[in-house]
């Protein structure tokens, strides 16, 4: 795990909202090693990084801008069928609204 910081995520086993999540590729090696040592004293999991796509989204600030944002699309499944969806966008590598990184956005299906 120490040698693969750039492709690993360290997550608390029993937290939510992005609390305590460490994205290895976003920190320096010594910080990663300290995070791993701290995790040994508690219940953590290590997961492999999954590439998150980035797309230009229109954002209205002082005027209309297009910002490259990461998108996380999560379908809701009920009885084996897609029955809804949640989409989040963020300029941060961590797409979590509760952690202050990301926004839930409307999703439309265009056929």
pLDDT at residue 100, rounded to an integer:
56
Tens digit of pLDDT at every position of the chain (111 positions): 999 999 999 999 988 777 889 999 999 999 999 999 999 999 999 999 988 888 998 888 899 999 898 888 888 899 999 888 888 888 877 776 665 556 777 887 777
Interstrand relation of 64-78 and 54-60 (parallel, antiparallel or unpaired): antiparallel
Q: What are the percentages of helix, strand and coil residues in the chain, rounded to 5?
A: 20, 45, 40
Q: Note if the pTM is more than 0.85.
A: no
User: C-alpha angle with apex 99: 98 to 105, nearest 5 degrees?
Assistant: 55
């Amino acid at each position: 795990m120490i040698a693969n910081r750039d492709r690993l995520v360290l997550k608390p086993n029993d937290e939510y909202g992005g609390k305590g999540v460490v994205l290895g590729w976003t920190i320096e090696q010594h910080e990663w090693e300290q995070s791993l040592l701290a995790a040994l004293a508690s219940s953590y999991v290590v997961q492999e990084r999954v590439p998150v796509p980035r797309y230009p989204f229109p954002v209205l600030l002082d005027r209309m801008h297009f910002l490259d944002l990461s998108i996380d699309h999560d379908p809701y499944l009920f009885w084996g069928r897609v029955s809804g969806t949640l989409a989040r966008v963020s300029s941060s590598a961590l797409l979590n609204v509760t952690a202050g990184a990301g926004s839930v956005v409307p999703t439309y299906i265009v056929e």
